[in-house]
Structure 1
Amino acid sequence: MFKNYIMNQLVLPLDLEVKLQNNDIAFHVHHLVESIPQEALEPFLRNEGCPAYHPRMMLKILLCAYTQSVFSGRKIEALLKDSIRMMWLAQGHEPSYRTINRFRVQSEVKELIRQCFVQFRCQLVEEKLINQDAIFIDGTKIEANANKFTFVWKKSIEKYHKALIEKSNELYNELLEKEIIPEIERESEEQLSIEELGQMVQKVDDIVTDYDKKIEASSDVVERKALRSERKYPKQLRKQLVDYILRTQKYQRDFEIFGPRNSYSKTDHDATFMRMKDDYMKNGQLKAGYNVQLATEGQYALAYSLFPNPTDTRTLIPFLDEIEQHYFKLPKHIVADAGYGSEQNYEDILSNRKREALITYNMYLKEQKKRYKQNDFNPDNWQYNEGDDIYICPNQQRLAFKYCSVRTDKTGFKREFKIYECEDCSGCPFRSLCTKAKEGNNRTLMVNKKWEQQKEYVRAKLSEEKTNAIYRKRKIDVEPVFGFLKANLRFTRFSVRGKSKVENEMGIALMAVNLQKFTANS
């Protein structure tokens, strides 16, 4: 005996909601998007043309598709025809893949995604899933939708541009010597501008035009042949000058695209080439990508931002600014790994933001080891006399204060150092172990007092039981989110190009990770 199965019997359509399980992820997507304030939808309103699909519906189907690891516009369109949860969220609408892709990259969608993060965090606070005592910050690199062999390097462009300036100056001097062109009023003696090169082309072009007229007016074969021979050189000059103009314009465009970066991809100008640990052997591969900075708590992504620089040190301050401006008020503790430990970052968090920085520095773990503490030639272990402001080396020689030095990094941040120098290093039996300075030069020591105070602050905070317990949560809080994103969601490469579009897709992917975890814990 079989259960009733008749294909030609009419079955009335039911509400698709009854087909979904009680804790289906579609319900969480629906409630999250419906919590977005109506004011955020006003930029999508249009008074002319065909009525558009509702932005709430479009955002719901994108979030739901990303939770199912479907990122292609065509595959999302296919899901709308055969997925019950997608049919229910779309309520019978079937936007094409072009409509889905156009909506995903709109600049107005960024505000909707931001509202999703704000509303989701409010929901987590309401249900007491996070305690708002700390945020955990870390970064990861995501591959851009760009060919890995389309790199342009800043050093190469600078080299070629410098050679082009020298060639153009040499050609200008040569033309002046041969009296082919008159002297031009130059803005700079170092290099010729595009306008000045254009004037040179015009002068040479006038000479070529005069030869053309003479050749056309002459009927003597020998004379015409001689004139053509004379015309050959200025024609070559004109071609060379036009090439210089085109190359100068190209290099100027390249420098505009570079900005503060050292490379960019021809396929996606906003992507920078970075080392990525992709394979199982952990061999660094150079690929175009974005540095994604993430703030988490309770293994939920609460805020994110994208940066072009591959290192994390210089991303912390602008990321914290963005969190305060667009997401939420910073909690008491800011937790991050040693990649963020710098004097500038400590000063910003402790002095400007009045928060506690639970951030280690590069030498923190090494300083805890017995070998480091017992190394007599390590300046940190040398005796310091605060009254006389001197250091005593292992050979009992005095290193007295000499002068102060100020160093400014690329971002304009200034660091102050005190320079100490040994009285006499000649004949020291420990010289080879103590310094690499040339024979005849005394050992010098650079000490940054502010940096030493900041390191002492970090060591003191991490020695406290409460703050150390918060710091130990970092690895089990922020790192799993990257694992969920790359391993579970299988989001390892962007499908759009350009920073603004990539930011939208990154926000959708991270919110999909949040919804997956929230549904599993509900």
Structure 2
Amino acid sequence: FLKTNRPRMGRGKRNKEVKSNLTDNESAKMTTSKGTIQGYNGVATVDKKHQIIIDAQAFGEGQEHHTLQPVLESVEARFRKLGIADNIYEQGAIVTADTGFANEANMKYLHERQINGYVPDNKFRSRDPKFQNQKDKYGKRHQNQPATGRKNIIPAGEFQFDPVNLTCICPAGNAISYQSTREAENGKIRVHFEGRLLQCRHCPKKHQCMQNPTSANHRKGSGRQVSFTIENKRLPNYTDWMKHRVDSPQGKEIYSHRMSVVEPVFGNIGTNKGLNRFSLRGKKKVQGQWQLYCLVHNIEKLANYGRMAA
């Protein structure tokens, strides 16, 4: 495998090499409600009117945002091959996708292709006045569970941050290492620092400064990590364009239907059909298994509603 394959690069914001699994090189680590597992993402495109799956693909990537473009192109090619439409997106098709598909590259693709799409960022609820009292009315999630992590540690505000030279001095007087400058989900630029391992290990303020002081005790651990927001005078981007679309009355009305369109389909396949995890290895086999279950879903829809008037 090492002789015939190049290093596999991740699809996240930091383009770094990721490890290949020994038993299934095409799979990836997935963060789920049951922890981190090795597997695939099953992506399905669903018709709003009849809940028919018109495209189903499996991707062995931890991030799903990069799958939007190949899925939309596959749908376009399928409708053209069937003679339904040369370009389904130019004939009034509306595309909605959840926040997992929101990034700048996808927004740019939708804009340049002139696709009538609505893909909200993960902050769109907080901008909606309808949800401003949601936490007061329903409470916070897991509010009765014991809190994790340590409170009352030394805050980042007590670190001496120089935004010009990108340096940082910790409360103990030690310079900590610059790590990276990245754009956060809200579009702001944040600068990240991390304390040197040996300095944090022997620092007298370690127990007041670190969430997990023992992480500095072994060689593969890490020191105190802090980040700071810097002034970001940027021009409007494609994400801003999508925010205006999603926040508009029309956008809210269109996107409100996504939950009732696609989630029942996944519920039917996962709960009624019993596909709660792929049981094969290799992308080709996994995709076959995923498409087979989607085919059974479509057959069931056609059997129950196929004679209804269009």
1:59-208 matches, cutoff 5 A: none
Secondary structure at the residue paired with 1:268?
coil
1:307 Cα offset (Å): 1.5
Report what 1:310 is aligned to: 62
CA distance in 2 between counterparts of 1:472 and 1:285 reads 29
1:412-451 matches, cutoff 5 A: 444-451=230-237
Query: 2:120·2:246 contact (CA, 8 Å) conserved in 1?
Result: no
1:265 Cα offset (Å): 3.1
Secondary structure at the residue paired with 2:54?
strand
1:340 is aligned to 2:89: no
Report what 1:291 is aligned to: 41
1:478 is aligned to 2:262: yes
CA distance in 2 between counterparts of 1:342 and 1:322 reads 20
Decide whether aligned partners of structure 1 residues 437 and 498 sit closer, same or farther in structure 2, where only a CA change above 3 A counts.
closer
Q: Deviations over 1:67-119 (max 9, x none)?
A: xxxxxxxxxxxxxxxxxxxxxxxxxxxxxxxxxxxxxxxxxxxxxxxxxxxxx
Q: Deviations over 1:423-470 (max 9, x none)?
A: xxxxxxxxxxxxx999xxxx841133233x6435533454234x4332
Decide whether aligned partners of structure 1 residues 518 and 408 sit closer, same or farther in structure 2, where only a CA change above 3 A counts.
farther
1:258 Cα offset (Å): 5.5
1:503 Cα offset (Å): 1.6
Report what 1:268 is aligned to: 24
1:490 is aligned to 2:251: no
Query: 1:417·1:449 contact (CA, 8 Å) conserved in 2?
Result: no
CA distance in 1 between counterparts of 2:300 and 2:227 reads 59
CA distance in 2 between counterparts of 1:447 and 1:307 reads 36
Query: 1:291·1:307 contact (CA, 8 Å) conserved in 2?
Result: yes
Q: Percent identity?
A: 21
1:363 is aligned to 2:123: yes
CA distance in 2 between counterparts of 1:476 and 1:338 reads 16
Secondary structure at the residue paired with 1:334?
strand
CA distance in 2 between counterparts of 1:274 and 1:307 reads 11
1:346 Cα offset (Å): 0.9
TM-score by length of 1: 0.34
Report what 2:138 is aligned to: none
1:292 Cα offset (Å): 1.5
Report what 2:216 is aligned to: none
1:408 Cα offset (Å): 11
Corresponding pairs, count:
201
CA distance in 2 between counterparts of 1:444 and 1:496 reads 47
Report what 1:500 is aligned to: 284
CA distance in 2 between counterparts of 1:499 and 1:257 reads 18
Query: 1:305·1:503 contact (CA, 8 Å) conserved in 2?
Result: yes
CA distance in 2 between counterparts of 1:270 and 1:359 reads 27
Query: 2:60·2:283 contact (CA, 8 Å) conserved in 1?
Result: no
Which letter does structure 2 place at the counterpart of 1:340? F
1:314 Cα offset (Å): 1.8
Q: Deviations over 1:342-375 (max 9, x none)?
A: 2211110011x1112211112211223559xxxx
Decide whether aligned partners of structure 1 residues 447 and 408 sit closer, same or farther in structure 2, where only a CA change above 3 A counts.
same
CA distance in 1 between counterparts of 2:181 and 2:76 reads 27
Q: Deviations over 1:120-177 (max 9, x none)?
A: xxxxxxxxxxxxxxxxxxxxxxxxxxxxxxxxxxxxxxxxxxxxxxxxxxxxxxxxxx
1:509 Cα offset (Å): 1.2
1:270 Cα offset (Å): 1.7
1:267 Cα offset (Å): 2.5
Which letter does structure 2 place at the counterpart of 1:324? E
Secondary structure at the residue paired with 2:232?
strand
Decide whether aligned partners of structure 1 residues 460 and 269 sit closer, same or farther in structure 2, where only a CA change above 3 A counts.
closer
Secondary structure at the residue paired with 1:266?
coil
Structure 2 residue corresponding to 1:459, chosen from 231, 244, 266: 244
Decide whether aligned partners of structure 1 residues 485 and 456 sit closer, same or farther in structure 2, where only a CA change above 3 A counts.
same
CA distance in 2 between counterparts of 1:268 and 1:257 reads 16
Bigger fraction of residues in helix: 1
Secondary structure at the residue paired with 1:320?
helix
Which letter does structure 1 place at the counterpart of 2:22? K
Flag the structure with larger Rg.
Answer: 1
| Structure 1, unpaired ranges of 5+ | 1-249, 278-283, 372-406, 410-415, 419-435
| Structure 2, unpaired ranges of 5+ | 11-17, 81-86, 134-179, 190-225
Decide whether aligned partners of structure 1 residues 447 and 325 sit closer, same or farther in structure 2, where only a CA change above 3 A counts.
farther
Query: 1:358·1:462 contact (CA, 8 Å) conserved in 2?
Result: no
Query: 1:334·1:356 contact (CA, 8 Å) conserved in 2?
Result: yes
Report what 1:510 is aligned to: 294
Q: Deviations over 1:312-344 (max 9, x none)?
A: 222212222333334554433221112222221
What root-mean-square deviation, in Å, do the aligned CA atoms of Structure 1 and Structure 2 show?
Answer: 3.4
Query: 2:8·2:19 contact (CA, 8 Å) conserved in 1?
Result: no
Query: 2:96·2:117 contact (CA, 8 Å) conserved in 1?
Result: yes
